[in-house]
């Protein structure tokens, strides 16, 4: 017991005599508060400055940073983050990288407006002049670009009178007099000229509307392996180890196009198709499109077998496009046909993957 009391007294004396040292662990601060503010001011003066340029200016300034012999870019970045400073990301240009000349070009690219030879302010023109300008703009640009300029332009693009004039350009007065005066001209125009005449282009409705010939293990419908931005459908048609073929016939008269319009105006007929393959197996693809008259006689055709897709590809789709022009009077049907096969003769469905087949009619004067 006496020994225990003696120990307790010694501990009490030690606590009373010991003084706590002030906290200050770690390395001392490299920059003072005034020096950190000087770094921040350098960035504010030139927000396009690079970190290595900032480092060089700090080391060269012997007045403000007289105690600094070296500093890392990481330390500078940490100081900028501490003071909530961000630096401008300069746009890249397609020249040599990291040369002095390129950096100057990048800086000029950010600071100067684009080089425009001629700018016309249409904000003050009258509605009639704006109306006549928009009449001569291609119809696909009206909705995608012109309608987004301002409310005045939006009202002009949405007006029925504008689309009635566009309809006059595509068709004759003889045809439009048959339509009632309360016709929705914009809806009618897009119903005729901006829609895909191929029904079920991606297999969302199975094989409906298609005349299908199965080869090998036959056609199936699967999800895309690669990205196809031109469609919102997740599906595609997939072929097998024998040629798989499918065909669809578009009756232009049943789709609303009159004989007079097809024969006299002969609008462009646009054909699109997309094909690809799996990553682990290559594929082959063919397309054949016929323009036929009312007696199903051939007037013009397009057929082609495209280069074979190799094994171990990136699953991307390849676009097929053809525009029929000057095909003469009499066209009444478009017969669209394509086929695919794999190049490894594997059982199952490893062949060409086909999606978003398209047939559109475009009047060239609209």
Phi-psi region of 200 (alpha: psi -120 to 50; beta: other; left: phi over 0): left
Cα angle value 154/127/194 (rounded, 5°): 40
Predicted confidence (pLDDT) per residue in 148-157, tens digit: 888 888 888 8
Mean pLDDT for 324-330 is 92
E strand or H helix that includes residue 251: strand 244-251
Alpha carbons 146 and 56: distance in angstroms, whole number: 49
Q: What percent of the chain has pLDDT over 90?
A: 38
Mean pLDDT for 15-36 is 69
Least confident range of 177-186, 199-208, 245-254, 299-308: 177-186
pLDDT at 181 (0 to 100): 61
Confidence of residue 268 (pLDDT cuts 50, 70, 90): confident
Alpha carbons 214 and 185: distance in angstroms, whole number: 43
Inform me whether the pLDDT recorded for 116 exceeds 70: no
Mean pLDDT for 331-357 is 95
Confidence of residue 107 (pLDDT cuts 50, 70, 90): low
pLDDT at 250 (0 to 100): 96
Confidence of residue 97 (pLDDT cuts 50, 70, 90): low
Alpha carbons 168 and 159: distance in angstroms, whole number: 15
Report H helices in 61-200. 73-82, 100-111, 127-135, 139-144, 151-158, 160-170, 173-176, 185-193
Confidence of residue 298 (pLDDT cuts 50, 70, 90): very high
pLDDT at 119 (0 to 100): 58
pLDDT at 101 (0 to 100): 65
Structure tokens at 355: 């999606």
Least confident range of 17-21, 78-82, 119-123, 324-328: 17-21
Alpha carbons 26 and 19: distance in angstroms, whole number: 21
Confidence of residue 260 (pLDDT cuts 50, 70, 90): confident
Span between the terminal Cα atoms of the chain, in Å? 110
Matching residue, tokens 């080089």: 115
Cα angle value 343/344/348 (rounded, 5°): 105
Least confident range of 9-23, 209-223, 326-340: 9-23
Of the candidates 171, 190, 332, which has an alpha carbon nearest to the alpha carbon of residue 254?
332
Alpha carbons 222 and 204: distance in angstroms, whole number: 10
Inform me whether the pLDDT recorded for 93 exceeds 50: no
Could you tell me the domains of the chain?
127-193 (1.20.1280.50), 211-362 (2.60.120.260)
Predicted confidence (pLDDT) per residue in 272-287, tens digit: 999 999 999 999 999 9
Inform me whether the pLDDT recorded for 67 exceeds 90: no
Contact 235, 202 (CB under 8 A): yes
Q: Specify the higher pLDDT residue, 356 or 60.
A: 356
Most confident of 70-84, 185-199, 203-217: 203-217
Cα angle value 199/209/278 (rounded, 5°): 75
Torsion angles phi and psi, residue 257, rounded to 5 = -90, 130
Of the candidates 268, 248, 270, which has an alpha carbon nearest to the alpha carbon of residue 359?
270
pLDDT at 90 (0 to 100): 45
């Amino acid at each position: 017991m006496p020994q225990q009391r003696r120990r307790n007294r010694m501990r009490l004396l030690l606590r009373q005599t010991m003084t706590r040292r002030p906290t200050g662990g770690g390395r001392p601060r490299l920059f003072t508060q005034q020096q950190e503010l000087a770094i921040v001011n350098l960035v504010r003066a030139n927000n396009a400055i690079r970190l290595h340029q900032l480092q060089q200016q700090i080391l060269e300034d012997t007045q403000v940073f007289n105690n600094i012999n070296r500093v890392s870019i990481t330390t500078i970045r940490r100081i900028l983050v501490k003071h909530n400073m961000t630096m401008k990301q300069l746009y890249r240009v397609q020249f040599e990288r990291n040369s002095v000349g390129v950096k100057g070009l990048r800086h000029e690219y950010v600071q100067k407006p684009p080089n425009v030879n001629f700018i016309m302010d249409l904000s003050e023109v009258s509605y009639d002049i704006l109306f006549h300008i928009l009449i001569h703009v291609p119809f696909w640009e009206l909705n995608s670009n012109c309608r987004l300029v301002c409310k005045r332009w939006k009202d002009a693009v949405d007006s029925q009178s504008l689309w009635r004039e566009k309809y006059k350009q595509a068709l004759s007065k003889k045809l439009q007099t048959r339509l009632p005066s309360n016709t929705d001209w914009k809806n009618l125009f897009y119903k005729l000229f901006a829609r895909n005449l191929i029904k079920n282009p991606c297999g969302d409705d199975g094989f409906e509307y298609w005349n299908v010939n199965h080869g090998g293990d036959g056609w199936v419908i699967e999800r895309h392996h690669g990205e196809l931005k031109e469609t919102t459908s997740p599906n595609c048609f997939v072929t097998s180890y024998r040629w798989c073929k499918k065909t669809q016939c578009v009756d232009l008269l049943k789709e609303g196009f009159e004989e007079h319009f097809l024969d006299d105006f002969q609008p462009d007929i646009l054909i699109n198709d997309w094909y690809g393959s799996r990553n682990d197996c290559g594929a082959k693809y063919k397309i054949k499109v016929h323009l036929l008259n009312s007696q199903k006689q051939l007037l013009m055709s397009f057929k082609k077998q495209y280069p074979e897709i190799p094994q171990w590809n990136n699953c991307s789709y390849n676009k097929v496009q053809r525009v029929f022009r000057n095909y003469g009077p009499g066209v009444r049907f478009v017969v669209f046909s394509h086929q695919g096969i794999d190049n490894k003769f594997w059982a199952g469905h490893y062949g060409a993957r086909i999606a978003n087949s398209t047939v559109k009619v475009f009047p060239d004067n609209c």
